[in-house]
Amino acid sequence: NAGVTQTPKFRILKIGQSMTLQCTQDMNHNYMYWYRQDPGMGLKLIYYSVGAGITDKGEVPNGYNVSRSTTEDFPLRLELAAPSQTSVYFCASSTGTANSPLHFGNGTRLTVT
Amino acid sequence: DAKTTQPPSMDCAEGRAANLPCNHSTISGNEYVYWYRQIHSQGPQYIIHGLKNNETNEMASLIITEDRKSSTLILPHATLRDTAVYYCIVLSYNTNAGKSTFGDGTTLTVKP
């Protein structure tokens, strides 16, 4: 049981390039989330999904897109990378029941130069 | 904005209890209090959660005030490995799909 797996661990992008951050979970969780964490700060919610085919915006969605075609996968897409998107990105999942914690991956560290 | 308020930093002597406070004065009736910690830049690790009763597990204890406006995470015998950033969040799946914003947390430093 691997939990929440994020790839890649590190990436450097040039301004204007695009990339997809991958997130997969093997716990059959319906709810999945993408957060970003800037240096010395807390986590901010980018997008979330309550099930396959359903996604919605979080607090800071601008510059990002997501899709949820399967229960297991929740990729995050950056179309035109900007220096402001330099951050550590965390994916999380949950069963969505009242008593369930979020399970986090180990993050993707992205630098845009 | 985060719905919780925590002190930015605390120190604790190794072997002593660490008591980390959190204010969540605007918590609603169906929101749970969750505590996580983050070591270096790893993914946040779940510690404990509660609704209104005090809770204890193998890692920590959670004390929630009767009015639910604040809580305290207790690490009973802190070790050097407990040095981390601790986050207190509130969330509900019923009304808010589990969405939450993590504030800046409390940096706990355990000293020998």
pLDDT tens digit sequence for A63-78: 999 999 999 999 999 9
For the segment A17-24, the average pLDDT, to the nearest whole number, is 97
Percent of chain A having pLDDT more than 90? Answer: 89
B2 pLDDT more than 70:
no
Percent of chain A having pLDDT more than 70? Answer: 99
Dihedral pair phi/psi, residue B77, rounded to 5°: -140, 85
DSSP secondary structure letter of residue A41: S
Quick: pLDDT tens for B43-62. Answer: 999 999 999 989 999 999 99
For the segment B8-25, the average pLDDT, to the nearest whole number, is 97
Parallel, antiparallel or unpaired: strands B45-50 and B55-56: unpaired
Residues on chain B touching A94 (C-beta within 8 angstroms) = 93, 98
pLDDT of residue B109: 98
pLDDT of residue A40: 84
Quick: pLDDT tens for B86-108. Answer: 999 998 877 777 788 788 899 99
Nearest residue in chain A measured CA to CA from B30: A98
Substitution target from B87, B96, B102 for chain A, most A beta carbons within 10 A: B102
For the segment A11-36, the average pLDDT, to the nearest whole number, is 97
Separation between Cα atoms, residue A33 and residue A55, nearest integer Å: 9
- Reported as half-sphere exposure (CB side, CA atoms, 13 A), residue B73 has a value of 31
Six token digits for residue A44 = 């901010």
Asked if A100's CB is within 8 angstroms of B43's CB, the reply is: no
pLDDT band per the 50, 70, 90 thresholds, residue A97: confident
CA-to-CA separations, B89 to A109, B2, B3, B31, B106, in angstroms, rounded: 23, 8, 7, 10, 12
Nearest residue in chain B measured CA to CA from A97: B93
Dihedral pair phi/psi, residue A85, rounded to 5°: -90, 5
Tell the burial category of A50 from Cβ atoms under 10 Å away from its Cβ (0-12, 13-18, 19+): middle
